[in-house]
Chains A and B, each alone.
Chain A
Amino acid sequence: MVKTDLSVSLGTLRLKNPVMSASGTFGYGLEFAPFYDISRLGAIVVKGLSLAPTPGNPPGRIVETASGMLNAIGLQNIGVERFMADVAPRLTDAGATFAANIYGRTTDEYSAVASRLSELPSLSAIEVNASCPNVKEGGMAFGATAEGVARLTGAVRKSTTKPLWVKLSPNVADIGSVAAAAEDSGADAVSLINTIVGMAVDHRTRRPRLSNVTGGLSGPAIKPVALRMVWEACKRVKIPVIGIGGIQTAADALEFILVGASAVQVGTANFRNPRACVEIIEGMEVFMREERLPGIDSFRGKLLL
């Protein structure tokens, strides 16, 4: 049997397949080694890293909702130094392709994290989190407008030569113009969508269910919104678009590629099924063989309208 080729290009970066883990749902990657060989993934995008370790939000961090969940973790993370010293070498030893999601309170902090991480030869890309809805500073402060995204992308671009991805928020009026702002400011790819701001309350205790009051909605509930936004972004920009939002199955992943995404990230599905990413890769291989497709590019963006 001919080995199916799922490899894709994201600018200068070649990935063995288009399936990546989404930041914040995959820890630092090694946590999944007991479930499968993590080098099988197109790439691992590790949990958002900041300059210093971050404690995160108080408990009351997650709530389950219809076919989805709200989270307000608040970017609890080990910080860039510990990641570089303790985690990155082990990811490299495991043969994993990995990208780092980064976060800062100011553009200077983002740049400092990017600059430090760029010293890692084995790091494949930097993904700028311009969209976390659960922290007061940074994240959404930049991601809410095209101007903010342009300023942040431009600043980080100056501090790294690594492939630069900008992760966009869906909590904007026109995703196309935000994606274009990232492209114009030097991004090599955009990834979308991050979570949709939501809220859950308890009518008996009369209190919010999350300590942060609002949180980010993820899971299959958001897939139609994500698919529409990825489609819009793909029409607007020439750089690769990485589709994210509610992907649970190979069919879901293929839908994002059909509307134009070059790759996908799988997030919340990892919580429900720790093997979700590899099952999606295997399902895509089956589809490619069934449809006799020579490669992902022969399917990407081929939506019949």
Chain B
Amino acid sequence: MPHSRMRFVAGRILRNEGHGDIFYRLEASVPEPVEFEPGQFAMVSGWPGSDPLLPRPLAIFRAGSGQKGKGTVEFVYKVVGRGTALLSGMHPGEPLSLTMPLGRGFDLGGDGRLYWLVGGGVGFSTVFPAAAALGRRRAEHEMFLGSRTREQLPPKEWTPGGDAKGRVHLCTEDGTAGYFGRVTDFVRERMTALADADASRLTILACGPREMLKDIALAAFARGAEMQAALENHMACGFGVCWGCVVALREGEKTGYRRVCREGPVFDAREVVW
């Protein structure tokens, strides 16, 4: 039986390969299959020694069944610092520690809604599983992926899966693939052109740089659309005890600090203090 409750498990690397300019795709074998909500994440470590000390939060890209009742889990990550650099140097067969699944994922509940999935940079690794889930449900969806340049888009052979594939729009800031410009601008243009009836049933699911999320959220609110934003932050524990990863959220008239790892990482964009 796959588990959907958080566990701390020992895994083993099956694959850990670089793609394009900046991405690594990591697949690990874990003791049992994991069932996750799109948008949930894992805390991952395995490099020797205590520097860096803390595991790294990585969005769960895919999970499946392995041999002999075991499970597999996949991540896509970008090397941004010492932890991910050390992770990228690890080889198949080496051990990993994983705590997962963590946090609150996307709410894909609405029938008859139109979904736009927006991934900025490595943010696509968070929205792909949502696209797969929507595809399986044959829900109406399109995906918008943005990066600085062609080599920083997910490789063509990486698809979310699912039966009904939504249209995929690529955007590059240097014009080397798809729309010439930021994904934010493309989404805003599309939103302006949207009929009122469609805008009111639009839900945007987005992950990427904070500026991107903010600009798209403001455009979405102007059209009466909903948006769920997957936020990132530095984390020590990933499961709600260190209180290090908080963001300011609106709560009625006041604001309060809520944990990205526990109350998030997916938040209703209207509640976020941008």
Contacts and interface: CB of A to CB of B under 8 A. Distances in A.
B244 A31 contact: no
Given A59-B247, A76-B257, A273-B8, A67 B242 contact: no
A34 B244 contact: no
A67 B240 contact: no
Nearest to A276: B8
A63 interface: yes
A272 B45 contact: yes
B248 interface: yes
A2 to B, nearest CB: 29
Most-contacted residue by chain B among A35, A47, A274 (CB, 10 A): A274
Name the prevailing secondary structure of the A interface residues: loop
A24 B242 CA distance: 7
A67 B53 contact: yes
B85 interface: no
Give the bracket for the number of chain B residues in contact with chain A.
20 to 34
A64 B8 contact: no
A71 B236 contact: yes
Contact of A34 (B7, B55, B243): B7
B201 to A, nearest CB: 33
B51 A67 contact: yes
B50 to A, nearest CB: 5
Contacts, number: 88
Nearest to B7: A34
B203 to A, nearest CB: 26
Contacts of B248: 58-59
Contact of A55 (B8, B50, B55, B256): B256
B9 to A, nearest CB: 10
B88 interface: no
B184 interface: no
B228 to A, nearest CB: 20
A67 B50 contact: yes
A274 B54 contact: no
A273 B241 contact: no
B255 to A, nearest CB: 9
Interface in B236-274: 236-237, 239-248, 256-257
A25 to B, nearest CB: 7
Contact of B234 (A27, A62, A219, A272): A62
A59 B260 CA distance: 11
B192 to A, nearest CB: 32
A85 interface: no
Contacts of B53: 64, 67-69, 219-220, 268, 272
Given A59-B247, A61-B243, A270 B237 contact: yes
Nearest to B260: A59
Nearest to B6: A34
A56 interface: yes
B18 to A, nearest CB: 24
Interface in A1-36: 24-27, 31-32, 34-35
Interface in A200-225: 219-220
23 contacts: A25-B241, A27-B241, A31-B239, A31-B241, A34-B7, A58-B248, A58-B257, A59-B246, A61-B246, A62-B236, A62-B242, A62-B244, A64-B54, A66-B51, A67-B51, A69-B236, A73-B244, A76-B246, A219-B53, A268-B236, A270-B237, A271-B241, A272-B55
**Which 6 A-B pairs give the minimum distances between C-beta atoms?**
A62-B244, A27-B241, A271-B237, A271-B236, A67-B50, A67-B51
Interface of B: 5-8, 45, 49-55, 83, 97, 99, 233-237, 239-248, 256-257
Given A69-B54, A273-B8, 13 more contacts: A27-B241, A35-B7, A47-B241, A59-B233, A62-B245, A68-B53, A69-B53, A71-B242, A76-B243, A270-B241, A271-B237, A271-B241, A273-B97
